[in-house]
Amino acid sequence: MLSEPRSGRLAAWGNALLAGLVSPDEAASAAVGEDAVHRVEGVPGESAPVGLTLALGRLRGLGVSGLRVALPAPGHPLGLSGPPEFNARALEAEEAVVCQGAALGLVPEMSEAGPEGDVHVEVLWHCLPVREAPPADVPSLGEAERELAEALREATEALTRLDVAGSGPVAEAAIDAYRARATA
Residues in the chain: 184
Residue 71 maps to a domain: yes
In this predicted structure, what is the pLDDT of residue 167?
63
In this predicted structure, what is the pLDDT of residue 170?
76
Burial class (CB in 10 A: 0-12, 13-18, 19+), 22: middle
Q: Is the pLDDT of residue 136 over 60?
A: no
Is residue 138 very low, low, confident or very high in pLDDT (cuts 50, 70, 90)? low
Find out whether 50 and 106 touch, Cβ atoms under 8 Å. no
**Is the pTM value of this prediction over 0.75?**
no
Do 26 and 77 have their domain in common?
yes
Among residues 129, 155, 175, the one where a domain terminates is: 129
Across 31-36, average pLDDT: 92
**Domain with 30 in it:** 6-129
Do 57 and 23 have their domain in common?
yes
In this predicted structure, what is the pLDDT of residue 90?
94
Sheet holding 37-41, edge to edge: 50-51, 37-41, 120-129, 104-113, 96-100, 66-70
Residue 1 maps to a domain: no
Q: CA-CA distance, 73 to 86, in Å (whole number)?
A: 14
In this predicted structure, what is the pLDDT of residue 148?
83
Do 116 and 145 have their domain in common?
no
Do 123 and 35 have their domain in common?
yes
Across 5-10, average pLDDT: 94
How many distinct structural domains can be found in the chain?
Answer: 2
Do 151 and 60 have their domain in common?
no
Q: Is the pLDDT of residue 53 over 70?
A: yes
